[in-house]
Copies of this chain bind each other. A is one copy, B any other.
Amino acid sequence: MRQPEKLVIQTLEGVLRKYGYSAASARILAQNCATAQRDGSESHGLFRVKDYISTIKSGYVNGDPSPKVEDVAPGFVRVDADNGFAQIAISAAKDLVHRKAEVNGIAILAIRNSHHLGALYLDVEDFADRGFVALAFVNSIAVVAPPGGKSGVYGTNPLAFAVPRAKGPPLVFDQASSTVSHGDLQVAAREGRLLPDGTGVDKTGNPTGSPHAILNGGALSPFGGHKGASIALMIEVLCAGLVGADFSYEVTSAETPGARTARTGETIIVIDPRKGASRLPSIGERVEDLVGALAAAGQTRVPGDRRTRARKESGRYIDIDEEKWRDLIALGAE
């Protein structure tokens, strides 16, 4: 079924407020969750509402944080998210980071003491809408084993990247450094689907494609073997090592029943491409050139295309599974 975007956001906001999120947190998280749902990013859409509720009920997350934004250097913003969601911290620091990137050519936003259940591309897309190139990294909870290992050390550690395009919305990608995201793993487990062999390892360290074996004592594997593992490692360093946050394997959420998030860090790098190109055309036009070359070589879809199409088709409406929508309404009425 389809529901007006505004109604979905309002409903989500109401549910989140009801379970203890402040007005500001509920507004930002509801917008984030609804946008992921609209874009077809199922595993970061309404699917996550139960986790937002469970994690705040557990007391593990602060639903009314006051992020502490520190202007550390002309290109460096550091935020203590006050144990709230990273998106609240980003919202508090975004304008400052934007100005710094414009003046300095590059700026970094380093967040610690934060949580993340949303789609990471939403944290960079907005910067690309304003003409910047942006990269974001977030670490999470130890569910990814290093090559040859049998227990989780890394989080699924996504990397998101966004760059403006001349002829449409930014080119954006957002990918876990594991074979699949933890959200997709949970969806597969719920639907009883087998994943490709080697998606993870079972509790004895043997490669497997069974979501249940991976979730019960096993671990996911990095994508692309040791190279994906290097990306995961880099993300741990950039998120946790750099900002004084916890590494994924240090996260203690398991000690709090009901906690569904990880208290870690997030880092965003924002680059002003107007400082880079010494000649026309603009970076947006150059990206169109590259997309054209990929199409000529046989790649018909570039990152972000599916999302852009889903967005265009949905307009101001959001496609929602009828049962999920009823569940949401019920949560608000309980």
Contacts and interface: CB of A to CB of B under 8 A. Distances in A.
B145 A80 contact: no
Contact of A205 (B112, B231, B271, B298): B298
| Copy total for this chain | 2
A133 B242 contact: yes
A2 B72 CA distance: 49
Contacts of A228: 223-224, 227
A contact face: mostly helix, strand, loop, or mixed? mixed
A74 B103 CA distance: 7
A137 to B, nearest CB: 11
A130 B18 CA distance: 51
A230 interface: yes
Max chain B C-beta neighbours (<10 A), residue from A106, A236, A277: A106
Given A104-B106, A112-B278, 19 more contacts: A73-B103, A76-B272, A104-B104, A105-B108, A106-B269, A133-B238, A135-B234, A146-B298, A151-B297, A153-B297, A161-B230, A161-B237, A227-B228, A231-B231, A237-B283, A241-B283, A242-B277, A244-B278, A244-B279
Closest 9 CB pairs of A and B: A224-B224, A76-B105, A73-B105, A75-B104, A149-B298, A146-B299, A149-B297, A242-B276, A241-B286
22 contacts: A73-B275, A74-B103, A74-B105, A75-B105, A75-B107, A106-B269, A110-B276, A135-B234, A145-B298, A149-B294, A149-B297, A150-B297, A223-B227, A230-B303, A237-B283, A240-B286, A241-B283, A242-B271, A242-B273, A242-B276, A244-B277, A249-B293
